Each structure stands twice: as structure tokens, then as C-alpha cells.
Amino acid sequence: MELPDEYQKLVNRMMNTPRVAIDNAVCATATVVRVSSARKRGMLLEAVQVLADLDLTIQKGYISSDGRWFMDVFHVVDGRDRKLLDPTLLSHIELSLSGETSSSSSAGDDGENNHDKSDGCGLAGLTALELTGTDRPGLLSEVFAVLRDLECNVVEAKVWTHNGRIASLIFVKDHHSGSPIADAHRVDGIEARLRNVLRGDHDVRGAKTTVASPMMTHSDRRLHQLMFADRDYGRVSSIEASSSSSSSKLSVSVQNWTERGYSVVNVQCRDRPKLLFDVVCTLTDMGYVVFHGTIGTDADRASQEFYIRHMDGGPISSEAERQRVIQCLQAAIERRASEGMRLEMSMPDRRGLLADVTRTFRENGLSVTRAEITTKAGEAKNEFCVTDTNGQLPDRRAINAVIERIGKDHIKFCEQRGPRPCQERPLPEAAGVVGVFSLGNLVMRNLYYLGLIRSCS
């Protein structure tokens, strides 16, 4: 009697385990990664997340599904725009995409082949704090000063700001014991102090602090969720307010393809790392399923087109919903693309280090718009994106003053990543023009991205 059950389990496992193929022969300039499986909600996001966490760039790709089956194809390069040739990395990608290992697990612990992005791994012994509120100059300095005074050591943190709001995930441990903070009374006190700091004197929308599980959702996805819940998309877009900015060429359109029952989402903007993750993450968390799609880059521009439906199978049903999707996608793209200068810091960790560093920023008229903070083996490795107090690029003299104060051996100014030279030909069909849809055109484009029709020049 147990045999049929075991057989069914085997069939289910075979059907639901993604099949991964990695090919370096199809394209001369990129590694082609194919993922196919029975359709499962979130599968596309999981695949994109694996590649994003390894700092790999998806130059182009396609997404297609037929009934309950799907196939995703990505043309991928590393941070230097090279094909992926490291066998350890290729093995890690295959295992991660097939679900045999977590995308955050180590893919080799030696030297430059260490691809561990440590998102969710190694955080079990920490207390996770989620913060949202109104952003203001010097706020991050105040937050870290409070944590220092409460004898909380910051081990990891990520901070995003957008449209006057701030969201942060901060992982801390007790300064004395090195253990997570388990005492309920102390936790309540930490939350209350941080909430008061976030609220400030002019907060009209409220501030929130929450203690969450450190093994929660992927941190970047959680930051998107926090800012979405905080309705940062409901304000005037910073990109629309600054049309002279290079990032002002962002265009998001949504139209219904009534005959086929799809809504078609088209994104045109400047290319940057993790762009596809931000878009797919937002669509997934808003409850939409991507059935087909094309992704392409041309010089420094990115084009993405997705054919989506609600989870119940219907397209977008109202003008208000269409506008909300546009606003939310614009916000998701802008959050990681805020203007500023990037500073990298590496120095021995100590109690109150972040409070001192961010106070130095504040004293020199700098505001932190994004931050990524990590500590490993007693060494603090942090990245900060800073502007002046008006949200503009800071004076280089202020940057030099900060570097001089902290130490040239510990902090340095880094040029922003420029547009990558792209060897791809323009897309066979202008993805920005939405109006006349054809399944034939979609299939042809999918064959193009699969590599069956001149996949790469």
C-alpha cells in the first residue's frame, strides 16, 4: 500500500525539481543558463535571486511558459563582463537553481572563488531589527548611536532611502555575551528608543520598529516589502522631479492584451546591477505571475517586457490598478538607484564604530542614502552612498574631509559603475512600443533569446 505513495512522491519530486543547463558554447560573449520545471509560484524570482546574489549580470533573456511548464533562459556574465568559466561557480549555480542548495550557501571558501553572499546564512545567532520612518539628515548616525548606548553590536545592516522614507534591516548581538538579545523587556526598550529616534519632531506618517527572525525573507526582497508597506511609491517620484538626472529616462508602461488575457508591462531605463531582481520581486510580491517575458540590454539601456496575470488568472482590471503597478515598479527601480557618491570602508571592528563614522558624515554635511554593512572575523567592510543634505552630489571637499578624518587606509571614494560596453545587437523588435501584440512575434523573440536564431553577435 505504501508503494503508490512512494511512487507519487518520486514523480512529484522529478516534476518539481528544476532542470538546469549551463552552456558556454552557444554564445561567444555570455554563458547561457536555462532553467525549466513545472510551474511554481516564485520560481522565476528564485532563479533571478540566485544570479543576483552572485553579482552576475543578466545581459538578456526570455521567460516562457506553456500550461504548467516553464522555461527561463538567461545570458549571463560576471562583474567584468566575461563568460563564467570557474567550475566551482558553475556547479554552485546549477545546484542552487535546481534547489539542491540555498542560493546563500557557500560555493567555495578559498580566495576569489568564494561566492558566498551570506544573505540569511550565519545570522541565526543575531537579533534582527526592521526600521521604517521619515528620512532626515543625520538619522542613521542617531540610530547607530542609540544601539551603541544600548550595548548592541551591529554585525550586518542594509539601509535604503527613497522619496523621503527610510527602511533598514539591522542585525545585532549583545556587546558583552555576543548572543542574540532574548530578554523581552530589553527588546521592548530597544524598539521604543529606536521608534522615538525615527519619529523625530516632524514625522507625520509614523515610524515602525520590529524585531524579526534573522532567517527571514531575503534581505533585499524584505527591504522592498518594507518600503512598499510604507507606501514610498505614493509620493512624487524623485526621478520625475529631476528630469535632468541621467536616471530620468525611466519609463514604465502597462497595457492590457485583451484577446489573450494578459497585461503587458514594459520597462525602459538605464541598466544597472540587480535591475531584473527588483522588477520581478515587485511583481511577485504584488501578486502577479509572469507567463512570458523578454529582457535585453543595448549599451547602457535596459529593456524588459513581461506578460502577466493575477494569481487567479485575470489581467489588470482597472485604471487605478494599472497606475499603481506603474508607480510601484518605478519606486522599486529607483530605490537602489539613488544618486550619490560611493564610499568603501574596511577597518577593524570595534564598539561604536558605525556611530562614529556616520557622525563624521553628518558633521561634514553628508547624508547616507544607502548603506551595506558587514562584519566578518573582526573586520568591518561597509559601503555607503552619500549626498549632501539637499540630496545633491556632495562637494568633493566634504568627501576628502571625511576620508582624512577616518583615515585614507580605511575609507576610499569609489567611482560609480559606468555603463557596460555591450556587444549585443539592438533587440529585433523595439520593446518600448506596446500596442500591436502577436504571439508569432513573441515566439520569434523567445527563439532569438534561446539562441536558436542568431542568439549573439
User: Average pLDDT in the 336-357 region?
Assistant: 93
So what's the pLDDT on residue 320? Answer: 97
So what's the pLDDT on residue 182? Answer: 86
3-state secondary structure (DSSP) of residue 327 = helix
Nearest 10 degrees: CA dihedral of 89, 91, 92, 98? 140
3-state secondary structure (DSSP) of residue 377 = coil
User: Average pLDDT in the 325-342 region?
Assistant: 92
Match 556574465 to its residue by C-alpha cell: 77
Q: b/e for 438-447, b at 16 or more Cβ within 10 A?
A: eeeebeebbe
CA distance 106 to 4: 37
Which DSSP helix (H) or strand (E) runs through 267? strand 262-270
CA distance 399 to 402: 5
User: Average pLDDT in the 57-64 region?
Assistant: 94
Strands 208-212 and 152-162, how do they pair? unpaired
How many CA within 13 A on the CB side of residue 132?
A: 18
User: Average pLDDT in the 68-81 region?
Assistant: 92
- Residue 381 scores a pLDDT above 80: yes
How many CA within 13 A on the CB side of residue 107?
A: 28
- Are the C-beta atoms of 263 and 331 separated by less than 8 Å? no
3-state secondary structure (DSSP) of residue 447 = helix
User: Average pLDDT in the 339-362 region?
Assistant: 95
- Least trusted range by pLDDT, from 10-14, 142-146, 179-183: 10-14
So what's the pLDDT on residue 215? Answer: 67
Residue 267 — pLDDT band, cuts 50, 70, 90? very high
- Residue 117 scores a pLDDT above 70: no
CA 1 remoteness from chain centre: 47
More confident residue, 82 or 435: 82
- Residue 187 scores a pLDDT above 80: yes
Residue 257 — pLDDT band, cuts 50, 70, 90? very high
- Residue 243 scores a pLDDT above 60: no
- Residue 424 scores a pLDDT above 60: no
User: Average pLDDT in the 177-201 region?
Assistant: 91
CA distance 44 to 47: 5
Closest CA to 239 of 266, 264, 269: 269
Sign of the Cα pseudo-torsion (215, 377, 140, 388, in order): negative
So what's the pLDDT on residue 427? Answer: 39
Domain range 2-113, CATH architecture: 2-Layer Sandwich (3.30)
So what's the pLDDT on residue 457? Answer: 40
Classify domain 127-217+341-414 at the CATH topology level.
Alpha-Beta Plaits (3.30.70)
- Residue 445 scores a pLDDT above 60: no
More confident residue, 312 or 8: 312
- Least trusted range by pLDDT, from 230-234, 246-250, 294-298, 325-329: 246-250
- Residue 237 scores a pLDDT above 80: no
- Least trusted range by pLDDT, from 90-99, 155-164, 215-224, 249-258: 215-224
Residue 12 — pLDDT band, cuts 50, 70, 90? low
For the whole model, what pTM was predicted? Answer: 0.84
Query: DSSP E strands: which ranges in 122-207?
Result: 127-134, 152-162, 165-174
So what's the pLDDT on residue 430? Answer: 36
- Residue 209 scores a pLDDT above 50: yes
CA distance 276 to 95: 21
- Least trusted range by pLDDT, from 76-80, 239-243, 349-353: 239-243
CA distance 177 to 409: 31
Name the burial class of residue 205, with classes exposed (0-12), middle (13-18) and buried (19+) by CB atoms within 10 angstroms of its CB: middle
- Residue 11 scores a pLDDT above 50: no
Residue 451 — pLDDT band, cuts 50, 70, 90? very low
3-state secondary structure (DSSP) of residue 33 = strand
**Residues paired with residue 414 on neighbouring β-strands, in sequence order:** 342
Per-residue pLDDT tens digits for 34-47: 999 887 888 899 99
Domain span(s) for CATH 3.30.70.260 in the chain: 2-113, 127-217+341-414
In angstroms, the first-to-last Cα distance of the chain is: 57
- Are the C-beta atoms of 387 and 394 separated by less than 8 Å? yes
CA distance 74 to 68: 20
- Least trusted range by pLDDT, from 47-56, 98-107, 181-190: 98-107
Residue 361 — pLDDT band, cuts 50, 70, 90? very high
- Are the C-beta atoms of 292 and 63 separated by less than 8 Å? yes
- Are the C-beta atoms of 72 and 47 separated by less than 8 Å? yes
**Residues paired with residue 133 on neighbouring β-strands, in sequence order:** 166
Residue 119 — pLDDT band, cuts 50, 70, 90? low
Residue 94 one-letter amino acid:
E
Residue 207 — pLDDT band, cuts 50, 70, 90? confident
CA distance 115 to 101: 13
**Residues paired with residue 59 on neighbouring β-strands, in sequence order:** none
CA distance 394 to 356: 20
Residue 68 DSSP label? T
Alpha helices in 32-155 (DSSP H): 43-53, 87-97, 139-149
- Are the C-beta atoms of 74 and 63 separated by less than 8 Å? no
